[in-house]
């Protein structure tokens, strides 16, 4: 018997309360996941809200005692659904939305490098990007990523590997430029 | 010596924490022996650090996160309100419908309804009590058997009496009205219930 089958919410009100609590606890990470997948093709806030409302509509089906995975899976699916819509295919130029370079972490890394890497990540195919963010940001195992994305473990391994290779290729000119700079200064 | 794609994948799998222990042990041994491989591992770690910083920088600050939670909570509350309102509206409409139906039934039962007020009322009452009024009729025929008229009676006895009266010698003098089939008094008497009123 699965965990979902064992779960018996006592009332709709209680389920709604558990849902709201889960959203409050996980909203930051969920928003970061949404933002990392949709990039600047859509509003991550809208993606998150839509995903959560979809989940709320069917909240009685799920076990809300451990909602992290469920919320993450829903947000990933909604983000992928949004950016796979034809009207989202056009890449909008980076306008400094969302992520701030004022965060302490970003402050440690050169702004230009961050911008270059972000642009490169944004150019990856969406399933590569989703697999990569679930691996490196959410620290999920390949099996968990496969479950989240509805793929097989070998597929996920391939996607992540190719995503990294593509990023390296996309960033190579920039890195070479960086390497040349100190030499020129010398 | 350049790093092979297989080695790159192994390093990445190791950094992902997904390399099985025997392979990880083999990798540790190789890292201590192969500086290129070790340098590549450092490079991959640095790249990953940059990406992780970017992922983390995508997290909203507390204010934005709170705003997001409020937004979702507000949507949920309005949705719940709409659902409750819809439920109450359904109940109210059902109750109103019950009241209207009950009122109409009461109205009809007291004889004031649309059906009771119609001209069909009399017909209905007659049909419900066939014995009460003109339940029997006597067919009056001429000598050729052509129907020349009918007479209605409330009871069968009245009808029989009428037939007997017609069959008496006095009435036989009448040139126009001649009853038919004398010996059986019930012959010309037929129930009138099937006649259209």
What is the tens place of the pLDDT at every residue in A21-30? Answer: 888 889 889 9
A51 and A122 together in one domain: no
Report the complex ipTM: 0.72
A63 and A117 together in one domain: no
**Residues B50-92: pLDDT tens digits?**
888 888 888 888 888 888 888 888 887 887 788 888 888 998 9
Q: Nearest-CA residue of chain A relative to B60? A: A28
> Across residues A145-171, what is the average pLDDT?
92
Which of B41, B60, B70 to mutate: most A Cβ within 10 Å? B60
- For the cut 70, the answer to whether the pLDDT of residue B196 exceeds it is no
User: With an 8 Å Cβ cutoff, are A31 and B65 in contact?
Assistant: yes
Of A92, A125, A154, the one marking the end of a domain is A92
Q: How many whole angstroms separate alpha carbon B141 and alpha carbon B149?
A: 7
* CATH number of the domain encompassing residue A150: 1.10.10.10
Contact at 8 Å (CB) between B141 and B122? Answer: no
Least confident of A55-59, A131-135, B105-109: B105-109
Torsion of CA A76, A82, A86, A87, to 10 degrees: -140
A23 and A52 together in one domain: yes
Q: What is the pLDDT of residue A43?
A: 85
Q: What is the pLDDT of residue A97?
A: 43
A8 and A62 together in one domain: yes
- For the cut 80, the answer to whether the pLDDT of residue A175 exceeds it is no
A116 and A88 together in one domain: no
A71 and A134 together in one domain: no
> Across residues A132-147, what is the average pLDDT?
92
A8 and A80 together in one domain: yes
Which of B7, B15, B54 to mutate: most A Cβ within 10 Å? B54
> Across residues B10-18, what is the average pLDDT?
93
User: With an 8 Å Cβ cutoff, are A135 and B16 in contact?
Assistant: yes
Torsion of CA B173, B175, B180, B186, to 10 degrees: -60
**Residues B137-176: pLDDT tens digits?**
777 777 777 777 877 777 778 888 888 887 776 544 444 4
- For the cut 50, the answer to whether the pLDDT of residue B125 exceeds it is no
pLDDT band, residue B104 (cuts 50/70/90): confident
Look at phi and psi of residue A92 and say left if phi exceeds 0, alpha if psi is from -120 to 50, else beta.
Answer: beta
Give the start-to-end residue ranges of the domains of chain B: 5-57, 129-191
A117 and A141 together in one domain: yes
A132 and A82 together in one domain: no
Which member of B18, B59, B80 has the closest CB to residue A142?
B18
For chain A, the domain total comes to 2
DSSP state letters, B6-38 = HHHHHHHHHHTT-S-HHHHHHHHHHHHH-HHHH
SS3 A163: helix
Least confident of A35-39, A153-157, B144-148: B144-148
Q: How many whole angstroms separate alpha carbon B58 and alpha carbon A136?
A: 13
User: With an 8 Å Cβ cutoff, are A32 and B58 in contact?
Assistant: yes
User: With an 8 Å Cβ cutoff, are A32 and B59 in contact?
Assistant: yes
Q: What is the pLDDT of residue A89?
A: 44
**Residues A103-134: pLDDT tens digits?**
555 455 567 888 888 889 988 998 999 999 99
The residues, ordered by sequence, that sit 6+ positions from A102 with a Cβ below 8 Å of its Cβ are none
Higher pLDDT pick, B157 / A95: B157
SS3 A89: coil
* Strand pairing report for B147-153 and B189-191: unpaired
- For the cut 60, the answer to whether the pLDDT of residue A65 exceeds it is yes
Q: What is the span of the domain harbouring residue A33?
A: 1-92
Distance from CA of B29 to the nearest CA of A (A): 23
Q: What is the pLDDT of residue B23?
A: 93
Q: Is residue A131 part of a domain?
A: yes
Judged by a CB distance cut-off of 8 A, whether residue B80 touches chain A is yes
> Across residues B179-196, what is the average pLDDT?
50
A138 and A186 together in one domain: yes
Q: What is the pLDDT of residue B164?
A: 82
Q: How many whole angstroms separate alpha carbon A106 and alpha carbon A110?
A: 7
The average confidence (pLDDT) of chain A is: 79
Q: What is the pLDDT of residue B146?
A: 78
Of A92, A124, A141, the one marking the end of a domain is A92
Which member of B44, B55, B69 has the closest CB to residue A32?
B55
Residue carrying structure tokens 């006095």? B170
Q: Is residue A97 part of a domain?
A: no
């Amino acid at each position: 018997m699965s965990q979902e089958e064992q779960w018996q919410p006592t009332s709709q009100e209680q389920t709604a309360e558990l849902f709201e609590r889960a959203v409050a606890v996980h909203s930051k990470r969920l928003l970061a996941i949404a933002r990392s997948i949709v990039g600047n093709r859509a509003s991550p806030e809208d993606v998150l809200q839509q995903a959560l409302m979809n989940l709320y509509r069917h909240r009685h089906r799920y076990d809300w005692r451990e909602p992290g995975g469920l919320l993450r899976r829903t947000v990933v699916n909604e983000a992928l659904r949004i950016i796979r819509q034809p009207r989202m295919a056009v890449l909008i130029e980076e306008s400094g939305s969302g992520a701030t370079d004022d965060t302490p972490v970003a402050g440690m890394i050169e702004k230009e490098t961050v911008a270059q890497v972000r642009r490169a990540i944004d150019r990856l195919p969406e399933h590569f990007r989703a697999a990569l963010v679930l691996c490196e940001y959410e620290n999920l195992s390949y099996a968990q990523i496969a479950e989240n994305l509805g793929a097989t473990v070998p597929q996920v391994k391939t996607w992540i590997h190719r995503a990294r290779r593509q990023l390296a290729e996309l960033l190579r000119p920039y890195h070479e430029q960086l390497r040349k700079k100190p030499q020129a200064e010398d | 010596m350049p790093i092979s794609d297989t080695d790159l994948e192994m390093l990445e799998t190791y950094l992902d924490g997904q390399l099985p222990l025997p392979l990880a042990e083999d990798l540790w041994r190789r890292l201590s022996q192969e500086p290129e491989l070790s340098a590549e591992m450092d490079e991959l770690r640095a790249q990953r650090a940059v990406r992780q910083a970017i992922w983390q920088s995508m997290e909203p600050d507390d204010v934005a996160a709170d705003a997001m939670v409020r937004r979702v909570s507000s949507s949920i509350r309005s949705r719940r309100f709409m659902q409750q309102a819809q439920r109450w509206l359904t109940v109210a409409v059902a109750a109103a419908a019950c009241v209207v139906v009950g009122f109409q039934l009461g109205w009809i039962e007291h004889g004031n309804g649309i059906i009771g007020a119609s001209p069909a009322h009399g017909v209905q009452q007659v049909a419900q009590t066939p014995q009460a009024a003109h339940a029997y009729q006597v067919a009056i025929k001429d000598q050729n058997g052509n129907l020349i008229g009918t007479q209605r009676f409330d009871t069968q006895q009245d009808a029989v009496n009428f037939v007997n009266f017609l069959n008496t010698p006095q009435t036989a003098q009448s040139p126009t009205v001649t009853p038919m089939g004398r010996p059986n008094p019930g012959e010309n008497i037929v129930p009138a219930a099937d006649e259209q009123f």
